[in-house]
Structure 1
Amino acid sequence: MTPEQLQAVVRTAVGAVVGRGALPVEVPAEVVVERPKNPEHGDYATNVALRLAKPAGRPPREVAELLAGELRAHPGIASVDVAGPGFLNITLAQGALGRIAVDAVTAGPAYGHTGTLAGQRLNLEFVSANPTGPVHIGGTRWAAVGDALGRLLEASGASVTREYYFNDAGAQIDRFARSLMAAAVGRPVPEDGYAGDYIGEIAAQVVAAEPGVLELPDEQQQERFRERGVELMFAEIKRTLAAFGVEFDVYFSERTLHETGALEKAIARLRENGHVYEADGATWLRTTDFGDDKDRPLVKSDGDPTYFAADCAYYLDKRSRGFDKVVIMLGADHAGYVGRYRALVAAVGDDPDANLEILLGQLVNLVRDGEPVRMSKRAGTVVLLEDLVEAVGADAARYALARASVDQQIDLDLDLWSRQTNDNPVFYVQYAHARISSVLRNAADLGIALGEPGDVDAAQLTHERENALLRALGEFPRVLTSAAELRAPHRVARYLEELAGTYHRFYDSCRVLPRGDEETTPLTVARLWLCAATAVVLRNGLGVLGVSAPERM
């Protein structure tokens, strides 16, 4: 019996007590069931009696005794104790606890998935690095966390569109084009341009594709380097992200907003809503009406639209595509951007709390041999996604970046994450899966099969290490749900590490396969199911993080 199943049992017990008139209350839509910190207090605990006592006008322990009597009659519950002011400590019948393993194996890839976010249509924008250089370490963190978050949200029933917004318009693209032009003829890049080997490589590719480009007048030449350079740079960005296991449903070009009149339409809507005014030759949005610290320009005095105007148009485009909420992942250096974006959402008539969510992430520092690995995009010594993957591997890179809360700065030790030892967290989790795969292979070699779900005697699993592992497996659906709701993929990683440790302790204490001439017993088969269930959860959890679950290591 999983915690979710037990929640339903407890709620049914409340309904039965209410139905016979013993409690004059409404049956709660949800009840809380948690694992007690002390295993001696049972498998699960609930505070439902405390919650119902006040509206019922009865002492909490009296309400608890009523509910305990109802719950004790359930065949899947071994005992119920009333503790403290009115907590219910519940111990499951051994067979009911053991069925968690059967449920996990039977559900397979779907185990842990819920419908808690069903009906939500979310647009998840992340990475969105400018096509002026390869993906650096900051963007790599968002690639790992954003992709994991998308998988988490889908596992909880949400409909998620992953979107990459590339700024292929504006001054930074002009600087990029001028940098390519300079590199193509061997001149130093402009002082405000982009440096690095990749600039020379792309410039050479542009010249190879268009041999006559250097003969064109400067304006036409810049346009060709702009268009072809952005195309080549973005192709490389997509390639490196795909190799990292990250792909997007939509790649949205900022330039299309300028070409389709979307900016003008967005400004017109804001004007109709009464929030636009003219001053100093420019067009402004009165964002201070919605809590921003100052008003923001939409069109500069020279007639050029601002990036903020493009943001307005882009937000409206997303909403026109039917998304309930726009979720944007940004670096901590964009913290000042949150207020103005919430203001524009309010200015178009939406609710910033319901229709917008901005997640801010801290920096990543790479360390090797105890020393920081420096990076500087302009100086050409930027640490790239590919550099990190080459140093530690894609699995370790994704796991390391998703393992910490995004609001924490990471010092990522390249020495640690490249080791094939148990102090490397991803190796530790993957090794648990490989160890189980070895057990299952050995069982098959001995002719021992799991059999049908209805044939396994789950009540055989009575050892304390077995119970601890079963309870951990039962928590997986709730871990995924809470991680999705809190936008916290790192919770999955930490859970997997705890689960791997719980499995290793079980394996060291409980022999799974018979030795020599020993007979295969119902306990052997039950423990094989427990191993297989643990493999399912490890595989599903690693899958959420975009990390492989190897069968051999």
Structure 2
Amino acid sequence: MTPVELSRTVLHAVRRAVDAGELSVAVPTRAVVAPPGPGGCGDYATSIALQLARPAGQPPLKVAEVLRPHLLGADGITDVVLTGPGFLNISLDRAASGAGLVGEILRRGERYGYADGPDGRVVQLHCPHDLRAVVVADAAARLLRSQGALVRVTAEGVEPAWTSVLGVTVDAVGRAPAELPVNVRPVPAPESADPMSLGRDAGRWALLHPAPHDRPRADDQHLVQRESNPLFRVRYAHARARAATRNAADLGFTADPGPVPVTGSDTGTPNGTATVTAPLADAAPQLLAALADHPRVLAAAADHRAPDRLARHLVTVADAALPFLPTVLPRGGEKPSAAHRARLALAEAVGAVLAGGLDLLGIDAPDHL
């Protein structure tokens, strides 16, 4: 079960409770699910009970108690625990949810996490005559459009080189009316820094990766091809994922999401025989969690006009993927198995998420490094 499917399942639970006369509320159009916070448990948590408490005229905990049995009856959910004032903490069938997540990513490709269509929002972004502000506004507009918003970007000034070198675009240049104040104003880059000397990809990353209140560092460290450079790790993980697909084709097999039999080398048994089943990879729960969190990160980065959230998330995905990617292909005299096909599917999902995320930041994702 993917986060999107789980959100729909939560709404269906609300609908069933309403139809049964257990709750008297209007069924909301959206149920937010996210990794559990402090004190939570399971795979995901939702605050839908807190959202419905006031219109239902009941305490949040009571609403959560009403919804719990309806969630427990849903396919793919193994447990629901109530914590705090009324949070529903949901545990999933990991094998089924992992396979479903990877299948959903492969189906959506680089548009995984995008809205299904326009949502009716019209957003105006206006920034000062400042290079970092214009780059942040450009990336924020890409994120907002991915979430269904119609966006217009204006700036009080733009230099032609900013467009030719860093690829930024705005819809209009000049002072905006008094009723449209500047609403994108990150801390500018130091006057001594020259992000454009880094080129489009590294220059944009240098300005987008730090939080808006942090002063960006635009030096040659963004160009080095080593693990100390977060941009390199993200692009390297993407290139390794794409290489896995090419190498698998040479070996005559393709991706197929599904559960992976864990071998003795994974479980510690001496004979190398399969003993248990794990979702998609031998030790990749943090990778699956990072991929599952991608739609929420895109929505939050868009809502807060904060491309840095997406940049840091891509680093998290890459850091979780790099130890996993060497396990994808058969080793030595191994023949490709269902486990290898499932691992390849997870690798391809990593490549899609990293490529799509970098594209939203306006950064290239090369297949070779």
Same fold (TM over 0.5): yes
SS at structure 2 position matched to 1:80: strand
SS at structure 2 position matched to 1:89: strand
Q: 1:440 aligns with which of 237, 240, 245?
A: 245
Deviates further, 481-490 or 2-11: 2-11
Letter in 1 for 2:114: H
Deviation at 1:515, TM superposition (A): 1.6
Contact 2:131 2:188 in 1 (8 A): no
Letter in 2 for 1:527: R
SS at structure 2 position matched to 1:502: helix
Question: What pairs with 1:73-112 in structure 2 (closer than 5 Å)?
Answer: 73-93=73-93, 94-112=95-113
1:46 and 2:46 correspond: yes
Whole-Å Cα distance in 2 between the matches of residues 54 and 249 of structure 1? 43
Q: 1:461 to 1:51 in 2, by over 3 A?
A: same
Report the counterpart of residue 265 of structure 1 in structure 2: none
Report the counterpart of residue 159 of structure 1 in structure 2: 150
Report the counterpart of residue 303 of structure 1 in structure 2: none
Deviation string 1:109-142 (CA, Å, 9 cap, x unpaired) is 32121158632334444465xxxxxxxxxx3313
Question: What pairs with 1:372-451 in structure 2 (closer than 5 Å)?
Answer: 373=192, 387-390=194-197, 392-410=198-216, 412=217, 414-450=219-255
Letter in 1 for 2:206: A
**Structure holding more helix per residue:** 1
1:466 and 2:272 correspond: no
SS at structure 2 position matched to 1:395: helix
Letter in 2 for 1:121: V
Deviation at 1:523, TM superposition (A): 1.7
Report the counterpart of residue 20 of structure 2 in structure 1: 20
1:525 and 2:330 correspond: no
Deviation string 1:275-294 (CA, Å, 9 cap, x unpaired) is xxxxxxxxxxxxxxxxxxxx
Deviation at 1:446, TM superposition (A): 0.7
Report the counterpart of residue 135 of structure 2 in structure 1: 144
Q: 1:397 to 1:39 in 2, by over 3 A?
A: farther
Structure 1 residue ranges without an equivalent (≥5): 129-138, 167-233, 255-310, 316-340, 346-354, 367-372, 374-382
SS at structure 1 position matched to 2:184: strand
SS at structure 2 position matched to 1:393: helix
Contact 2:133 2:188 in 1 (8 A): no
Report the counterpart of residue 536 of structure 1 in structure 2: 352
Report the counterpart of residue 247 of structure 1 in structure 2: 169
Seq. identity, %: 36
Contact 2:39 2:83 in 1 (8 A): no
Whole-Å Cα distance in 1 between the matches of residues 15 and 248 of structure 2? 46
Letter in 1 for 2:213: D
Whole-Å Cα distance in 2 between the matches of residues 238 and 121 of structure 1? 27
Contact 2:286 2:320 in 1 (8 A): yes
Whole-Å Cα distance in 2 between the matches of residues 144 and 95 of structure 1? 40
Q: 1:363 aligns with which of 176, 181, 188?
A: 188
Whole-Å Cα distance in 1 between the matches of residues 250 and 40 of structure 2? 39
Deviates further, 118-127 or 468-477: 118-127
Whole-Å Cα distance in 2 between the matches of residues 413 and 158 of structure 1? 31
Deviation string 1:489-530 (CA, Å, 9 cap, x unpaired) is 11111111111111124336xx21112332222221111111
- TM-score, normalising length: structure 2: 0.84
Whole-Å Cα distance in 2 between the matches of residues 113 and 525 of structure 1? 26
Whole-Å Cα distance in 1 between the matches of residues 128 and 364 of structure 2? 22
1:11 and 2:2 correspond: no
Letter in 2 for 1:549: A
Whole-Å Cα distance in 2 between the matches of residues 38 and 362 of structure 1? 31
SS at structure 2 position matched to 1:536: helix
Deviation at 1:413, TM superposition (A): 5.1
- Equivalent residues, number: 351
Flag the structure with larger Rg: 1
SS at structure 1 position matched to 2:341: helix
Report the counterpart of residue 277 of structure 1 in structure 2: none
Deviation at 1:157, TM superposition (A): 1.3
Q: 1:484 aligns with which of 284, 302, 311?
A: 302
Whole-Å Cα distance in 2 between the matches of residues 428 and 364 of structure 1? 23
Whole-Å Cα distance in 2 between the matches of residues 480 and 447 of structure 1? 35
Letter in 1 for 2:98: L
SS at structure 1 position matched to 2:254: coil
Q: 1:464 to 1:528 in 2, by over 3 A?
A: closer
Report the counterpart of residue 258 of structure 2 in structure 1: 457
Report the counterpart of residue 325 of structure 2 in structure 1: 507
Contact 1:465 1:505 in 2 (8 A): no
Q: 1:494 aligns with which of 312, 315, 324?
A: 312
Question: What pairs with 1:302-381 in structure 2 (closer than 5 Å)?
Answer: 311=175, 315=177, 341=178, 345=179, 358-365=183-190, 373=192
Report the counterpart of residue 264 of structure 2 in structure 1: none
Contact 2:204 2:363 in 1 (8 A): yes
SS at structure 1 position matched to 2:9: helix
Contact 1:77 1:96 in 2 (8 A): no
Deviation at 1:534, TM superposition (A): 0.9
Deviation at 1:356, TM superposition (A): 5.5
